[in-house]
Structure formats: C-alpha cells, structure tokens
Structure 1
Amino acid sequence: MANLGRIERDIQRFQTSYLREALKEPINFWGLAGFAVAAAYSFSVIPLLLAIIAECVYLMVVPNLPAYRSLVQRRERERMAAQAKAAREKLIKSFTPREREAVEYLRWLKGKIQDNYKKFTGSSVLPSNLQMLDQRWEDFVDLLDVYRRRKQHLKSINRQAVHNQLAQAYRAAENATDEKTKRIQQTNVEILKRRIASFDEIERSVKLVEGQLQSIENFFSYLNDEIVTMSTPEKFSLLDFEQLSDSIAMTKQMLDATADEVGQLDAYNREMGNYELLPEANR
C-alpha cells in the first residue's frame, strides 16, 4: 500500500508539472488577455465565460498531448544542461591559474580534434564516439575539482597529531588499572587506527584520480595525432573509446565509495573538537 501511495504521488507530481508549464505558455496568457480585452470593449461577461470554458478545455487537453509533453521534456533537458554548463564554468573560474590552463588546453584540443576529423575525413557529421569528447572533457573538469579538494584535504590533515594520539591511547590502554578504563582506551585505539586507514584510503584515491586525469589528457593527445593520418571515417571507428569510458566510470565509483570516509573524518574531528585536524574551509 505504501508503494501504491508513492506511485500515485509521483503520477500526480508528473501531471502537475505539465499543467504548470501549460499555464505559463505565452499562447495561454495572450489568449486570456484577448478575451479580457473583448469583454472590456463589449461591456459583456460573455467573453469572460468563454475564456473560462476555453481555459478548462486547454488545461484538460494540452498537458496530456504527447507532443506537448515531449516539448516540455526537451525544454527541461535544455534548461538543466545550461544550468550544468554555467555551474561548470563557474567552477573553472575557482581553479588556480595552472588548473585553468590545463582545462582550457583540453577544451581547445577537443575542438581541434573535432575540426580535424571533418577536415581530413571530408565528413560533415561527427560520429557518436567523437561527440562524447564533450562528456570526457566535463569528466576531466569534475575529476580535477575532486582531485584538488581531496589533495588540499590531505595537506590540511595533521597526521602526526593523529599518530601521537594513537601512541598515547596505546600507552593508556597498557597502563590502565581497571578493566573499564582499558576497554575505553582500546576502543579509542581502534577508532584512531580506522582514521589512519581512512587517511591512507583518501591518499590512494587522490593518486588514482591523478592517474585518471593524465589518462584523459593523453587520450586527447593520442586522438589528435591519429586523426591527422586518417583518410576515411571508418578508420576512426576502430579507435577504442570504451576503455577510457570504463576507466572513468570505475574512478567515479571509487570516489563515491570513499566520499563517506571524507565526510566522517570531518564530522568526527568537529565532534571531538580536533579543529586542527580539519581542512581550513571546514573549521
């Protein structure tokens, strides 16, 4: 029953979104305005009654038309794409000059590859795998952002302070005079050991992302070299794009798996008052 109720709510939300879009359509606004003007000039309520009837028919028919729904969906995709593009450009502006240089060079190289493909193959249409270079460039920007933030996170962590706490906890557990105190200190030891293991995991993720960024850069350079020697579009289809795509997907999965560890480290340090172990931005 709970699932049925959720499905009904989703359907209602789905229907409401199309209804809301239909209400905001210029043709609806100007249609109602036309009836209002007619009522004002004729000093009659008949145009207003006709407007109500027309509006009811409009709202019952138009939001349910497959063509209109496709139009609304296309608008939403375009809006989200524009929003994502604006957010990514804003993100790039926050990069260091060296990072921005790497991003802009790869953007330039992407355009050069696509232009050279058309030039050397005589084709006016880009193949689907070459169109995916736009996505690979976006992946590069997103991964670079993760890389720089995690690297800064590691730089901000005082590893020595954590190791000192671990050594103190070991000694406290060994010198405990009662079982209760010993168990508490042993628990503290295990927590600190897990934190150090988390540091190592984050460090491994940074190295993995660094390697992935280099792979994307090298792949773009490789494509640029290969396209110059191509004479037909068929030869381009033999190039392996899937390996890079699979590698990026694997890297993103790994980052998702370690995202909780980064958050847990910050939350633990904040809770324990170990502000010196937090990145400066999160203190």
Structure 2
Amino acid sequence: MPEQVSYVKEAIKEPLNIWAIVIFVALAVFAVTAAPDFVFLKWLAWWGPLVAGAAAEALYLSTLPNTPGYRRIVDQRNRRRALAERNRKREDLVKTFDPREREAVEYLKWMKNQIYQNYKKFTGVTEVPERIETLDVYWEAYVDLLDTYRRRKNHMRSINRQTIQNQMQQADRAIATAPDDDTRRLYHTNLDFLQKRMKTYDDMERSMKRVEAQLQSIESFFGLVNDQVITMPTPEHISSLDFESLLSSIELTREILDETAPIMSQLDISDRSSSQPARPPLEQRQS
C-alpha cells in the first residue's frame, strides 16, 4: 500500500522555506546586536523578526500545501523517487543472476533503448509515445518473471520425480502384501502423501513451463516492435501492434504464479526443516 504523502511536511522541507527561516533568525540576531542598550528595545528587536517569521511560516504552511499545483509537483517528485528506488532494487536483483540470465536481461534492455532511439530518429519526435513506453513495464515484468523462473528451477532440481514414482510403486506393493489392516492403512497414508507430492511437482512444472513461454513471448515481442519501428511507413503503424494482449498474458501468468506461491512456501519450510539435525531414535533419547 503506497505511503500517505504529507504535503505539509514536504512544504517544510522545501529549500526556500528553510532559507526563509534562516534569514528571519539571522535578522533577529542582527537586530539584537544593533539595537540600543535598552532591555525593552533588545527584547523587541529579538522577538519582532521571530514573530514575523512565525506568522509568515504559518501563512505559508496553511496555503501552499493546499494548492493543486504544489500537490501535483509533490506527487510527481514522489513518483520519480519511487521509480528510481524500484529501478535500483531491480538492478540489484539482476546482479544476483548468473551470467547467462544477466546477458538476456541486458540484451532486452539494450533492445528497448534501441527501439526508443530509432523511433525518435525516424519520426523526429522528442518524446516516445506512452504506448511504446510500456516496454519499460514489460522489461520489468521480464526481470521479475525470470527471477521467479530461476528460483523455481533451482528448487525443482532438488526434487527427483523418478524417486517419488519409485516410492509410490513400493507403497502399492506394500499395500498388497500388508500383514494386517492397520499396517495397510499406514501404507495407504504414505501413498496419499506421495501422490500429493507428485501433484505438487506437476503443478510447479506446469507453472515453470508457463513462465518460460511468457519469457519467450516478451523477447519475441521486443524483436517485433524493433522490426516494426525500423520498417514502419508511418508512426501510426506501431499502434496496430497488440500491446494489450501481452500485458494481459503477463498478468495471467502472475496470477498463476500467485496460486502456486503457497506451494513454494511450504516446500521452502520443508527444506529448512530437513536441513536441521535429525532427532536421535527413541531408544537413544530414553537411554
């Protein structure tokens, strides 16, 4: 949830306001030193500029923060600050990627900048249309999805699907040869757990393939836009590209990932638990 902006605090921190406060205090000090050697005059010389400054400050804080123009300036400033912070965090995230992943991200970023430069060059405009600037959003989505993909891929490598299948077959055979009903129920419980693990694995595998396809579609779309910008007969030709469908597919992919996020959290907890030292057998604890 975005932080609530205090326009009064922003107005207080304005450099002009700070300098005005300094000037009034300096005037008070100067007036005291220049005033005749009378207590009342010195008192008046000291408090006169301070009271005037306080009145001016009260008027300033009661008017400027409430003006629509100043609020727009503050909102724009905060958006730029938030954007810079988000970009910094994303750049730090990219630094954690392996060389091949960083190369893919940097290439897509380079292509995005090339598209902007070529569009300005061929159309003679100074600003890229907002529709094309959505490539910034797609690049950010690419980085986020690639981060999710690589983390899940590393996690999937720690799971051996064939081992789970072998354990399920062993559980089936154990159920068939169980000596009594109680033992058979235990084997059924074990088989149920293994089947759930297999389903979890399959769900993660499907989400991985979805992310992989989404990453490839973003890469292909950047290439398409770049080709269209270079060969476009008119700037309006770019408007025929379906930017919205790509954004919709990205949002759908994120929803799918959100659905499997609890699964990943449970597996992370399981991994942390399995990394802890095992408890000794019961007979060792009792001895």
| TM-score of the pair, normalised by structure 1 | 0.80
* Among 93, 96, 101, the residue aligned to 1:94: 96
| Aligned counterpart, 1:25 | 14
For residues 112-133 of structure 1, give each alpha carbon's deviation from its aligned partner in whole angstroms, at most 9, with x where no partner exists.
2222233334444433321111
Gaps of 5+ in 2: 33-45, 278-287
- AA at the equivalent of 1:252: R
Q: Which runs of 4+ in 1 moved over 3 A?
A: 118-125, 158-179, 181-192, 268-271, 273-276
Indicate the larger mover: 112-121 or 238-247. Answer: 112-121
Q: Which residue number in structure 2 is paired with residue 135 of structure 1?
A: 137
Equivalence for 1:39: 28
Asked if the contact 1:63/1:69 (under 8 Å) is kept, the reply is yes
Alpha-carbon contact 1:201-1:258 (below 8 Å) kept: yes
In the alignment, which residue of structure 1 is the partner of 2:109?
107
Which residue of 1 is the match for residue 212 of structure 2? 210
Q: Among the aligned pairs, what percent are the same residue?
A: 48
User: In 1, Cα distance between the equivalents of 2:51 and 2:171?
Assistant: 81
Structure 1, gaps ≥5 residues long: 1-9, 277-283
1-structure distance, mates of 2:72, 2:115 = 33
Q: From the CA coordinates, give the structure whose radius of gyration is larger.
A: 2
Residue identity matched to 2:100? R
In the alignment, residue 83 of structure 1 is paired with which amino acid?
E
Q: 2:280 maps to what in 1?
A: none
Q: Which protein has greater RCO, CA pairs closer than 8 Å, 6+ apart?
A: 1
Q: Report the alpha carbon displacement of residue 214 of structure 1 after superposing the two structures with TM.
A: 0.9
Report whether the alignment pairs 1:65 with 2:46. Answer: no
User: Match of 2:253, as an amino acid?
Assistant: T
Structure 1 segment 161-180 matched on structure 2, within 5 A: 175=178
Structure 2 CA distance for partners of 1:59 and 1:188, relative to 1, 3 Å: farther
Deviations 1:42-83 (A, max 9, x none): 122222222333333333323222222222211111111000
Deviation readout 1:87-130 (Å, 9 max, x if unpaired): 11111122111111111211222222222233334444433321
The offset of 1:136, in angstroms, is 1.3
Q: 1:229 to 1:47 in 2, by over 3 A?
A: same
Q: In structure 1, what is the Cα distance between the partners aligned to 2:126 and 2:54? A: 51
Determine the structure 1 residue equivalent to 2:254.
252
Deviation at 1:210, TM superposition (A): 0.9
Distance 1:56 1:186 in 2: 76
Q: Tell me what 1:153 maps to.
A: 155
Aligned-residue Cα RMSD (Å) equals 2.9
Q: Which amino acid aligns with 2:29?
A: A
Normalising by structure 2, we get a TM-score of 0.79
The number of residues matched between the two structures is 262
